[in-house]
Structure 1
Amino acid sequence: MHNLTLLLVCQAVTTLGLMVFVPIMPLYIATLEQMDGSSAGYWSSLALSAPAVGTLCFAPYVGKWCDRFGYKQMLLISLCVFIASMLLMALGSTVYGFMLGRLLQGVSTIGVVLTAFIGYISDDTSRGRSLGLQESAIACGALAGPVLGGIMLDYWSLKPLLLTSAMLTGVAGGILWSKLSEPRKAAPISGLSFFGLRTVLSDSNLRNWMLAACLIQAAAFAFVNVFALYLSARFPSGEAIASKVGLLHALGWLATMLAAPLWGHLNDRSEPRRYFIIAAMGCALSTGLLVVIDEIWLIALLRLSQGACYAALMQSVLLACSRQLPASEYGHVTGLSRSFMVVGQLAGPLLIMLLLPVFSPISLIWPVAVLFFIGGLLVLYNRTACFSFAEIRK
């Protein structure tokens, strides 16, 4: 429990640092260089995708290194790289230095290491609860980061916030170094081997879980791109659209923060597959209904519903995969899971970019709902009694 608390605090702090730029990226980029709106939008898109590229390249290897060299050591290395990225963004005065800092954020793979560490130190009866609490910590950082970033950029500068975030991460790293204990390494199961991506792709259950995770993340990141366009089209004469977008996104994260531990508790008591399907269909329904809604308070209710359902999805994927694989390979499979999720992060906005000339801003909601729906269907068609290394060991 002591280790878990430290890791959750670290998760919230690092997520804040990752998310502080998300809603204001074009505005901040414009303060670094003299450029027009289209150039700022171009660099903003690159900066938003840069961490995903770094994570995609390194996540499988970092997960494997956690299993091989130890979780505490890999966490401290990841924290050092993350702190370097924050300092580079805070102290850099050009867009190129900022881009390098964003890329380093992804290379740090801090989210992968924290997820693997949290899952590894939790036993089979409480892993769902631990992953639920982690999802809540992520939502807390994602809720606070954009709010603080917007206020600081409007009334002062983002650099003090970046330096403070780097300092807090450094303090967290020092505490983790002195207080965190390395978990006992799990013994591999004799006669059974895990070959990474080959094993995942050869087993239909694992393959469907990974593809579902990819589709869900594609839907989530596509929705981020679409939502501001949707609100502008739905309320063309409305005022303070940017503020409404920020508030409605915050409502979604608030619902995620509150609902995530409950989903984790339910997953511990039953099969994650069941709750993933319910939550994915809930996300599809709450997203699709936006097309026929034209009242802001109803949109707010749907965002709360969507956030509460989304809270179940990623933690259910990680828990289901961990139950099918040996504990000695937990870091490796977590890295692979995150890689599939990152592919979705990149694919979702790309899909919206391709569909923009074809669909109206309001109609773009439909592809997002379809992605959530297909993700749920993939897991629905999984075999109920799935292959499990843990059962073979027993």
Structure 2
Amino acid sequence: MKKTIKEQKAALIILLSNIFIPFLGIGLIVPVMPSFMNIMHLSGKTMGYLIAAFAVTQLLLSPLAGRWVDRYGRKKMIIIGLFLFGVSELIFGLGTHVSVLYLSRMLGGISAAFIMPGVTGYIADITSIQERSKAMGYMSAAISTGYIIGPGLGGFIAEYGVRMPFYFAAAIAFLAVITSIFILKEPLTKEQLTEISANTKHTSLISDLKRSLNPLYLIAFIIVFVLAFGLSAYETIFSLFSDHKFGFTPKEIAAIITISSIFGAVVQIFMFGKMIDKLGEKKLIQLCLIIGAILAVASTVISSFLAVLVVTCFIFLAFDLLRPALTTFLSKAAGKEQGFVAGMNSTYTSLGNIVGPAIGGILFDVNINYPYLFAAVIMFIGLGITVMWKERQLAESLVKN
């Protein structure tokens, strides 16, 4: 019998902190990147390549990291991931040559590949089926909160030097490593890890990708890709769209993003579990896809600040609810293979994050409205795919658990 969330409070707080810190670190450096570009004499193309280096490395390592999470344990992979994240931020802060920055971003991608499946698998292991959706909602809220707090805190820290946010991110990551070593306990026994490892011993990246085509997982993984693809295409051009079409100032754009993120995080914390209980994962995912697609189209015809704020709040909310709903479904379907499923979840997310911004940017150059309309089309395609999603498959997976 698994303990309740209240009984697992200490472990859950540490886990949520561990997933919060990398996303806080990502947000911390946002305000200083223009200044950093000038200091290092970096072009926009180089900055794009640095972002791609992170995403590609995470994409390539995620399946392998997922198998290691199942083989060597959740705790070890989380600690290694946090340590690598700290090292990557420290290297970036100290870097004086672009090759060092590429090394930093690649280490960052590896760290993300370890942390995400490690934390997701750990949470799934210590929560019951009934409480898992609530815990996954907390995890998604921790990610969103990191994004919210990061830029503001980074701007404040940057007053003490343009490289200070990187050093601060490294420091809190190393602190999280120490805390996790002493407080977290591996949720699975050696026997359980050995059993899971025996089932995955002969697997490879190619075999893992083939396993992800299992009908039990496939539709959810496609939706994961669609979500990352559509969201990244939407978010990549949001600032450009708001500036070019509406003439919003950076302060107004920051206000819209911050308010929308806070709104999404609050709903996740207090309402996500209840919405899953009432609607179930499939209906909630379909509802979010419908709302997201309709509002993406609406974004091309509205003009006032208030209208943009309201529409953006609900689009971000739809995306914020989609992520934990999909993660919850996959964790329920995974049984003892939490690492594999979480790793492939990260793989399909990375793939969407690589392709989405590239296509969004190309379409923006053709027509300012096309990226939003494209995101809407992608979400409608995702909605059509969910029609093939059989509830029986989820029921069968729950029997295995």
What corresponds to 1:196 in structure 2?
208
Q: How does 1:197-346 map to 2 (within 5 A)?
A: 197-203=209-215, 205-236=216-247, 241-261=249-269, 262-268=271-277, 271-326=280-335, 328-346=336-354
Distance 2:32 2:290 in 1: 31
Match of 2:300, SS state, is helix
* Alignment CA distance shift 1:5-1:49 (3 Å): same
Bigger mean CA deviation after superposition, 279-288 or 180-189: 180-189
* Alignment CA distance shift 1:80-1:125 (3 Å): same
1:157 pairs, out of 154, 157, 161, with: 161
Compute the displacement of 1:142 (Å): 0.5
Compute the displacement of 1:312 (Å): 1.2
Q: What does the per-residue CA deviation read over 1:166-220, in whole Å, with 9 as the maximum and x for residues that have no partner?
A: 111111111111111110245869xx999633232131x5212111111111111
2:146 pairs, out of 141, 164, 167, with: 141
Distance 2:156 2:211 in 1: 47
Compute the displacement of 1:82 (Å): 1.0
Q: Tell me, which stretches of 5 or more residues in structure 2 are unaligned?
A: 1-7
What corresponds to 2:375 in structure 1?
368
Compute the displacement of 1:75 (Å): 1.1
Query: Which amino acid counterpart does residue 24 of structure 2 have in structure 1?
Result: L
Q: What does the per-residue CA deviation read over 1:95-150, in whole Å, with 9 as the maximum and x for residues that have no partner?
A: 32222211211111223322222223222111111110000000110111122334
* Alignment CA distance shift 1:273-1:73 (3 Å): same
Distance 2:400 2:272 in 1: 27
Query: Which amino acid counterpart does residue 179 of structure 1 have in structure 2?
Result: I
What corresponds to 2:361 in structure 1?
353
Distance 2:218 2:168 in 1: 41
Residue correspondences, number: 381
2:188 pairs, out of 184, 188, 205, with: 184
Q: Is the 8 A contact 1:259 1:311 kept in 2?
A: no
Q: Tell me, which stretches of 5 or more residues in structure 1 are unaligned?
A: none
What corresponds to 1:168 in structure 2?
172
Match of 1:271, SS state, is helix
Compute the displacement of 1:11 (Å): 1.6
Q: What does the per-residue CA deviation read over 1:335-386, in whole Å, with 9 as the maximum and x for residues that have no partner?
A: 0011001100011111123323432x13432112222222232223312322
Q: Is the 8 A contact 2:233 2:371 kept in 1?
A: no
Compute the displacement of 1:268 (Å): 4.8
What corresponds to 2:37 in structure 1?
29
1:73 pairs, out of 72, 76, 90, with: 76
Compute the displacement of 1:318 (Å): 1.6
Match of 1:158, SS state, is coil
Match of 1:93, SS state, is coil
What corresponds to 2:93 in structure 1?
90
Distance 1:82 1:209 in 2: 28
Match of 1:370, SS state, is helix
Distance 1:30 1:371 in 2: 36
Distance 2:391 2:73 in 1: 34
Aligned-residue identity in percent: 22
Q: What does the per-residue CA deviation read over 1:288-324, in whole Å, with 9 as the maximum and x for residues that have no partner?
A: 1111101011100111111221111111112112222
Distance 1:28 1:176 in 2: 32
Q: What does the per-residue CA deviation read over 1:267-295, in whole Å, with 9 as the maximum and x for residues that have no partner?
A: 25652111111112111122211111010
The runs of at least 4 consecutive aligned structure 1 residues that moved more than 6 Å come to 192-195
Bigger mean CA deviation after superposition, 377-386 or 15-24: 15-24
* Alignment CA distance shift 1:325-1:181 (3 Å): same
TM-score (norm: length of structure 1): 0.89
2:131 pairs, out of 115, 126, 129, with: 126
Match of 1:183, SS state, is coil
Q: Are 1:50 and 2:53 matched, yes or no?
A: yes
Q: Is the 8 A contact 2:29 2:165 kept in 1?
A: no
What corresponds to 1:103 in structure 2?
106
Query: Which amino acid counterpart does residue 65 of structure 1 have in structure 2?
Result: W
Match of 1:369, SS state, is helix
C-alpha RMSD of the superposition: 2.4
Compute the displacement of 1:392 (Å): 4.3
Distance 1:137 1:310 in 2: 15
Distance 2:265 2:291 in 1: 17
